Amino acid sequence: MPFSFPSPPTIPARHFQPVFEGSRRFLVDGEIRTWGGHCSAVESCVMLREGSSEPRRHLLGELPQHDAETALEGLEGAVRAWDRGRGEWPTMEVRGRLEAVRRFASAMKERREACARLIMWEIGKTLKDAEKEFDRTVEYIEATLQALKELDRAGNRFSIDGGIVGMIRRAPLGVTLCLGPFNYPLNETFATLIPAIIMGNPVVMKLPRYGALCVLPLLEAFRDSFPRGVVNTVSGDGATTAGAIQKSGKVDVLAFIGSSRAADALKLGHPAPHRLRCITGLGAKNPAFVLPDADLDLAVAECLSGALSFNGQRCTALKHLFVHRSLADAFVSRLADAVSRLPLGLPWEDGARITPLPEHGKPDRLRGLVEDAVSKGARIVNAGGAEHRGTWFRPAVVAGVTSAMQLWSVEQFGPVVPVSVYDGEEELFDYVVQSPYGQQASIFGRDAARVGPLVDAMMNQLCRINLNAACQRGPDSFPFTGRKGSAEGTLSVSDALRAFSIRAMVAAKEGSEQVVSEILMKRTSRFLRTDFIF
C-alpha cells in the first residue's frame, strides 16, 4: 500500500480541517485572551500535495509560545481561586461542584465534532478512534460525577474510637498543575484534570506540544462552567512555562503524563518537592510472553492490535514480544504476514489502521532503532517494514532482538515490533526485573500449571497482567498505575478522586460534642454536615 499525500480537493469536505481560527486563545483567571506574542505553527501529521510541489504538513493553526510571565499569570489565577483554601471553589458544597462539572460536560458534548476532527488532523488518530477518545472522556466525567456522590455519601457519618467522635471527609489539596500527553490529548489530560477540579483544586493546564488544539474549542465551556481561575491554560515550551510555575513553589499537586525525564525536571524544579503531591503516568515497555502452548491465532491477533493500535503510540502498547523457541518461527511469520496486510490510510478513511506520525523527526528515530538492531544481527521480517517518507513509517516487525540492541530497552513509542526468542521462563522474569518500567505484561498460554506461577513471579514487579489479551488501560473503573519508573499514584474513576484530595477530619471528645450537634442542626458548616446527595 503506497504512502498517501492527498491534494486538498480530493479530501471529502466534511472531513477537511482548515486553519483553526482562535488557536491563539487561552484562558486566564476567567478571561479568554488572545495571545499577541510568539507562536509556533501547529502542523498536521497529514502531508498534503498542492500542485507539483513536494508534500508538506498541512497548517492547522498557531499555538502561543507563552513566556514565563504569562504562565505565572495563569498560576496566579489558580492561586486566587484557591485563596488559601478559602476560595469559592474549594469551599463550595459538593452539590455545587457536581452541578458545575455537569454543566461543563453538557457544553463539551456540543463540541464533539470540532474536538474529534482536531484530534484526527493534529495527531493522526483515525476518525473512529478520535470520536472514541472524545466519548470515553465524556463517559469518564459522568462516571466521576457518580463516584463523587458515593464518596460524599460515605463521608456522611461519624466514627467513634478511643473516646473521640470524628467526621472524616476528603478535602482538596490546592493549586494543581496538570500536563497531558500528545497521544490522548483529551482523554488522558481530562483523566487528571476533571478529578482534580471536582475535588475542589484550581488548575493550570499546560497544553501538550502536539495535540493541543482539541482543548481550545472547550475554553468557553470552562469559563462559563466554573468560577474564575478554577481552570487556566498555558502553552509553549515546557521548561519556560511549567518550569516557571513549578519554581514559584505555589503548586501543591503535579499531575503529569509524559516522559520520566520531564517529570523529574518538573518535580525537582519545585523549591520544596517534599510537599508536592505527584500523580504521574510515565514510560512503559510492556512485554508479551507467548508460552509454548499458546493459542497462536489469538496471540498473533492480540499482539498485532496491542503493538500497533494508534501506530504503537500508547503507553500501554506491547513494545516487546518474547516467543518460546518452539513456536517462534510460526509466530513470527504469521505476525509478519498480518502486519503486511494492515491497511495504511489517512485518518478519515474507513479501515485505516496505520496513519502518519505527528512527532517531528520520529520516523528517523524509529529507523535509527531498527538499523541499530539490524546492524547487530536482527531481521526485518515483513515486506517493506521500516520504509518511511515524510510523516509515514511502515510498521516493522524486527525479529531476533537481543539485549545488545537499543530496541531491547528503549521505549520506541511507534510502529516497530521487536521480537525475541526465549527458552526458559527465568529469562522472562529477568527481563521484567531488569526493566526500569513496571506497568503491565501480557501472557499467552493455556496451561494453568505454567501460567499461575508466572503470574505470581511477576505480580510484584508489575501492576496488571493480562492473560491471553493485549495490555490496556481500561475500563476506567479498574486501577491504572505502574511500579518503578512507570507511574506514581493510581488512576481510575474512583482512585483519581482520592489521588487529588486528602482525608481531613473534625474531631470532638465523646460527651462534649454539643457544638457538633448544633453545627449540624443549624447547618453552619459545609464540611460538618450530614445531607445526602442522591
CB 528 within 8 A of CB 167: yes
Select 316 or 442, whichever has its Cβ closest to ligand G3H.
Answer: 316
- Contact flag: residue 134 with ligand G3H (CB under 6 A): no
Which CA distances in Å does 35 have to 72, 77, 141, 189, 516? 15, 17, 30, 22, 51
Q: Which of 422, 218, 184 is nearest to 315 (CA)?
A: 184
Query: Of the candidates 141, 207, 212, 315, which one interacts with ligand G3H according to CB under 6 A?
Result: 315
Query: Of the candidates 76, 122, 188, 411, which one interacts with ligand G3H according to CB under 6 A?
Result: 188
Q: Which stretch binds ligand G3H (CB under 6 A): 66-74, 229-237, 311-319, 447-455?
A: 311-319
Select 142 or 293, whichever has its Cβ closest to ligand G3H.
Answer: 142
**CA 236 – CA 312 distance, rounded (Å):** 26
Select 390 or 436, whichever has its Cβ closest to ligand G3H.
Answer: 436
CB 67 within 8 A of CB 37: yes
Select 123 or 451, whichever has its Cβ closest to ligand G3H.
Answer: 123
Select 137 or 183, whichever has its Cβ closest to ligand G3H.
Answer: 183
- Transcribe 205-261 into DSSP letters: EEPPSSS-GGGGGGHHHHHHHS-TTSEEEE-S-HHHHHHHHHHTT--SEEEEES-HH
Select 180 or 363, whichever has its Cβ closest to ligand G3H.
Answer: 180
Q: How far is the CB of 281 from ligand G3H (least distance, A)?
A: 7
Select 37 or 474, whichever has its Cβ closest to ligand G3H.
Answer: 474
Query: Of the candidates 311, 316, 461, 501, which one interacts with ligand G3H according to CB under 6 A?
Result: 316
Residues binding ligand G3H: number (CB under 6 A) = 9
- Sign of the torsion formed by the C-alpha atoms of 17, 21, 23 and 27: negative
Query: Of the candidates 17, 183, 189, 233, which one interacts with ligand G3H according to CB under 6 A?
Result: 183
Query: Cell 524486527 maps to which residue?
Result: 398
Select 200 or 414, whichever has its Cβ closest to ligand G3H.
Answer: 414
Select 473 or 529, whichever has its Cβ closest to ligand G3H.
Answer: 473
Q: Please, which of residues 463-502 interact with ligand G3H by CB under 6 A?
A: 472-474
Exposure on the CB side of residue 276, measured as CA atoms within 13 A? 27
Q: How far is the CB of 63 from ligand G3H (least distance, A)?
A: 22
Q: How far is the CB of 332 from ligand G3H (least distance, A)?
A: 25
Q: Which stretch binds ligand G3H (CB under 6 A): 239-247, 314-322, 325-333, 398-406?
A: 314-322
Three-state secondary structure of 249-300 = CCCCEEEEECCHHHHHHHHHHCCCHHHCEEEEECCCCEEEEECCCCCHHHHH
Angle (CA) 15 21 25, round 5°: 130
- Sign of the torsion formed by the C-alpha atoms of 398, 401, 406 and 410: positive
- Contact flag: residue 184 with ligand G3H (CB under 6 A): yes
- Burial (CB < 10 A; 0-12, 13-18, 19+), residue 452, is exposed
Q: Please, which of residues 21-80 interact with ligand G3H by CB under 6 A?
A: none
Tally Cβ neighbours within 10 Å of residue 177.
29
Beta-strand relationship, 487-488 and 277-281: antiparallel
Q: How far is the CB of 473 from ligand G3H (least distance, A)?
A: 3
Select 152 or 188, whichever has its Cβ closest to ligand G3H.
Answer: 188
* Amino acid at site 451: V
- Contact flag: residue 186 with ligand G3H (CB under 6 A): no
Q: How far is the CB of 318 from ligand G3H (least distance, A)?
A: 11
Q: Which helix (H) or strand (E) holds 503?
A: strand 501-509
Q: How far is the CB of 164 from ligand G3H (least distance, A)?
A: 42
- Contact flag: residue 353 with ligand G3H (CB under 6 A): no
Residue 293 phi, psi dihedral angles, 5° rounding: -100, 20
Q: How far is the CB of 377 from ligand G3H (least distance, A)?
A: 31
Query: Of the candidates 209, 285, 314, 319, which one interacts with ligand G3H according to CB under 6 A?
Result: 314
Q: How far is the CB of 312 from ligand G3H (least distance, A)?
A: 10
Exposure on the CB side of residue 84, measured as CA atoms within 13 A? 0
In DSSP terms, 504 is beta-bridged to 169
**CA 119 – CA 130 distance, rounded (Å):** 6
In DSSP terms, 322 is beta-bridged to 289, 420
Q: How far is the CB of 137 from ligand G3H (least distance, A)?
A: 12
CB 91 within 8 A of CB 204: no
**Which residues make Cβ contacts (< 8 Å) with residue 309, sequence separation at least 6?**
317
Q: How far is the CB of 72 from ligand G3H (least distance, A)?
A: 30
**CA 85 – CA 229 distance, rounded (Å):** 13
Q: How far is the CB of 188 from ligand G3H (least distance, A)?
A: 6
Q: How far is the CB of 442 from ligand G3H (least distance, A)?
A: 12
Select 117 or 473, whichever has its Cβ closest to ligand G3H.
Answer: 473
Select 183 or 241, whichever has its Cβ closest to ligand G3H.
Answer: 183
Q: How far is the CB of 184 from ligand G3H (least distance, A)?
A: 6
Catalog residues that contact ligand G3H under the rule CB under 6 A: 183-184, 188, 314-316, 472-474
